[in-house]
Structure 1
């Protein structure tokens, strides 16, 4: 029976192209909340007069839930497919953004004080739930595509979805001028609601999960899905997926690499606007544009090509080179005093992080083919925790060194890059050969 006949017989919907498109769209809209914190942090701080450490925690709040929720929700995909986890995270994010919008309407600016910091932080945590959609979209995309196209598909997914902070970073400063802080939050909240509705209407799970939901036996569902081109299949429950992937040593190496590449990326999308404003004296619109064009959008688009490079040269080798680039960029930023050199350092870091992100997730289905969702949860969740952990550390540098700390703090990335190069080297030379002797040297 040909594919078209099978699709009609079982009333299946979707294809790899639409699966990738909707997963990418879902990740894009889920990222809406994180873009609000960097450019508007200065506005909120002018009213609340926070110490740099508290400011660092506030701008990182969405990244805490956005990272930790990736672990269970990424693994949940192996049980139910991606659509239900996506919608659950959207619902949590909508509640958080609704709370933040309400606070701003009721209290900003005159009644917004440090006493309200815990409540703002709490709603920030909820609004960051949408960021966790990343680890849902990775296995959702992986289930749609064969192994030899994983690098391209995941690179396109992560790269295009990651453009959200950059695009929002460009738009938000202008929205702040035209709509005000409260109006801007309300606009982003409306965007999230509309985006969730579009995803609900058009997203489909991979064929295997559609068949299971229709009551088809697992073996039959697997056989039909294979005939339709699906190669990856879940191995068990959510807990089993996490256990299986946790037992693979390479999973933890990838967690460490992703802590630097994507966790570091998240941290800088919120920190760079503050850096440009406080260290170079730029105004908020200029700072937002520099973060978006010089870092976020660059890192996102180059990630797409990074997937192709990883397919060609291997994820481990690509990771080593890309972290060397991050190392160079961090050193430039740590010692730069002029605007031009600082911008160069930002661009170098953006390029390195973008390629590194693609390289890391090229390796997830390669090392853990029996539980890509579980591995995606660990790597995406604990790795992205860097987005929460790093900004407060950067804030400590500012509290200790004053204005010079905005530059000196990039030494943190120098250290992380060195560690990541070493780990990628171990994966390349020892782990892949000893645990997976059949894996290509690339």
Structure 2
């Protein structure tokens, strides 16, 4: 990389922006996924059914998904640093609320608000992408997207904090972490260049690009799988195989960690090889490994293997897809990221709800996983039809 990166800022500015936006996203994702590793404890505290537990897990994902669209647009227009700092200040409100609520309804409201933490993805990608030339953006966006690791860090740390220091301590820890990182981000990061003449109409023009919607569908599968299984794995392991909350949290962290760590590798490969071909293999792998999960709910070793393998496939897919995002509409990376990221988040919102309802109705999880297989098949067909058969090339 040269001293100037894409005509703006020095190498030091670029690496600081990449590093601190990634670490800030880790903290935000810890807040976004705070209920998953504590699901058993929260369920006991509020006497929740399986359906209510899955509703609680899905609720933060809803707002964090929908609001990625306007937040991504705001980042492009006003600057990612400003938006990031406002976002971190906002999520302190629900983090303070959660230890003080005494009803399931208020807990759901706080969960909805803390969902804003999930929009950090749109801000981080918009902010980090401008510092690097396009030929390096697959790797750079793969690195900043490792902020998803916040799910894994939450799964490893929050059950231990709750067990050692109490439920309330979890949220005071998250508050302190968010404040510290907000201060570091404010001091050390420069603001990105922005075009203040941009209009909402101009940003929404990305919806006219068919590739925006195809990438949104693909990310609905891959990132949705990451969010859904990170949230559901502790519930699966405690309910099906009798794991403790702490041990189940560690396995959830393993899933989230592998899915996140391999994401930059997917982005790097997409810098070197044709992304469409990589996605073809990724979707095929997800289909195979999801079938393994569907058939192994009574086989502990096979079930865990299926979870790990599907996480690896999804992680590679996440990296490949976001290599393609900046090419959809030049100058509107935040807007495209918002739309694609929103669909990915919704992909994490619906599966826990559907799987919870199916479990209530049928007494098993298998049909819910079968729907995941069907979604992957649809994505495979759409990829073949639009990008391979019709030869639509947004990345050469």
Q: Which bin holds the TM-score, normalised by the shorter protein?
A: over 0.9
Name the counterpart of 1:67. 65
In the alignment, structure 1 residue 135 sits paired with structure 2 residue 122: yes
In the alignment, structure 1 residue 155 sits paired with structure 2 residue 153: no
Residues 99 and 167 of structure 2 are in contact (CA less than 8 Å); yes or no, is this contact kept in structure 1?
no
Name the counterpart of 1:90. 88
Deviation at residue 48 of structure 1 after TM alignment:
2.2
Deviation at residue 417 of structure 1 after TM alignment:
1.2
In the alignment, structure 1 residue 360 sits paired with structure 2 residue 321: yes
> Which residue, out of 225, 234, 258, partners 1:298?
258
Deviation at residue 186 of structure 1 after TM alignment:
2.1
In the alignment, structure 1 residue 264 sits paired with structure 2 residue 225: yes
Residues 327 and 414 of structure 1 are in contact (CA less than 8 Å); yes or no, is this contact kept in structure 2?
yes
Per-residue displacement from partner, 1:95-133 (whole Å, max 9, x unpaired)? 111111233xxxxxxxx4xxx222111111111211111
Residues 27 and 174 of structure 2 are in contact (CA less than 8 Å); yes or no, is this contact kept in structure 1?
no
Question: Which secondary structure does the structure 1 equivalent of 2:191 belong to?
Answer: coil
Whole-angstrom distance in 1 between the partners of 2:199 and 2:32 = 27
Deviation at residue 205 of structure 1 after TM alignment:
2.3
> Which residue, out of 161, 180, 192, partners 1:175?
161
In the alignment, structure 1 residue 314 sits paired with structure 2 residue 312: no
Deviation at residue 185 of structure 1 after TM alignment:
2.3
Residues 13 and 204 of structure 1 are in contact (CA less than 8 Å); yes or no, is this contact kept in structure 2?
no
Deviation at residue 55 of structure 1 after TM alignment:
1.6
Whole-angstrom distance in 2 between the partners of 1:312 and 1:259 = 24
Whole-angstrom distance in 2 between the partners of 1:92 and 1:198 = 17
Deviation at residue 235 of structure 1 after TM alignment:
9.1
Distance 1:179 1:127, change over 3 A: same
> Which residue, out of 333, 356, 361, partners 1:400?
361
Distance 1:11 1:40, change over 3 A: closer
Number of corresponding residues: 392
Name the counterpart of 2:172. 186
Name the counterpart of 1:118. 105
Name the counterpart of 2:290. 330
Per-residue displacement from partner, 1:160-198 (whole Å, max 9, x unpaired)? 212111122111221121012222222222222222222
In the alignment, structure 1 residue 34 sits paired with structure 2 residue 20: no
Residues 43 and 53 of structure 2 are in contact (CA less than 8 Å); yes or no, is this contact kept in structure 1?
yes
- The correspondence of residues 42-81 of structure 1 with structure 2, limited to 5 A, is 42-81=40-79
Distance 1:356 1:11, change over 3 A: closer
Deviation at residue 381 of structure 1 after TM alignment:
1.5
TM-score by length of 1: 0.84
Deviation at residue 376 of structure 1 after TM alignment:
0.8
Distance 1:238 1:136, change over 3 A: farther
Question: Which secondary structure does the structure 2 equivalent of 1:409 belong to?
Answer: helix
Distance 1:431 1:250, change over 3 A: farther
Residues 9 and 131 of structure 2 are in contact (CA less than 8 Å); yes or no, is this contact kept in structure 1?
no
Whole-angstrom distance in 2 between the partners of 1:280 and 1:359 = 34
Whole-angstrom distance in 1 between the partners of 2:99 and 2:181 = 18
Whole-angstrom distance in 1 between the partners of 2:169 and 2:16 = 33
Per-residue displacement from partner, 1:220-266 (whole Å, max 9, x unpaired)? xxxxxxxxxxxxxx595251343221111100001111111112211
Deviation at residue 308 of structure 1 after TM alignment:
0.8
CA RMSD, Structure 1 to Structure 2 (Å):
2.2
Whole-angstrom distance in 2 between the partners of 1:170 and 1:205 = 33
TM-score by length of 2: 0.93
Whole-angstrom distance in 2 between the partners of 1:56 and 1:236 = 43
Question: Which secondary structure does the structure 2 equivalent of 1:32 belong to?
Answer: helix
Whole-angstrom distance in 2 between the partners of 1:117 and 1:156 = 37
Structure showing greater radius of gyration is: 1
Whole-angstrom distance in 2 between the partners of 1:188 and 1:397 = 33
Distance 1:170 1:102, change over 3 A: same
Residues 324 and 421 of structure 1 are in contact (CA less than 8 Å); yes or no, is this contact kept in structure 2?
yes
Whole-angstrom distance in 1 between the partners of 2:160 and 2:390 = 49
Distance 1:411 1:338, change over 3 A: same
Question: Which secondary structure does the structure 1 equivalent of 2:48 belong to?
Answer: coil
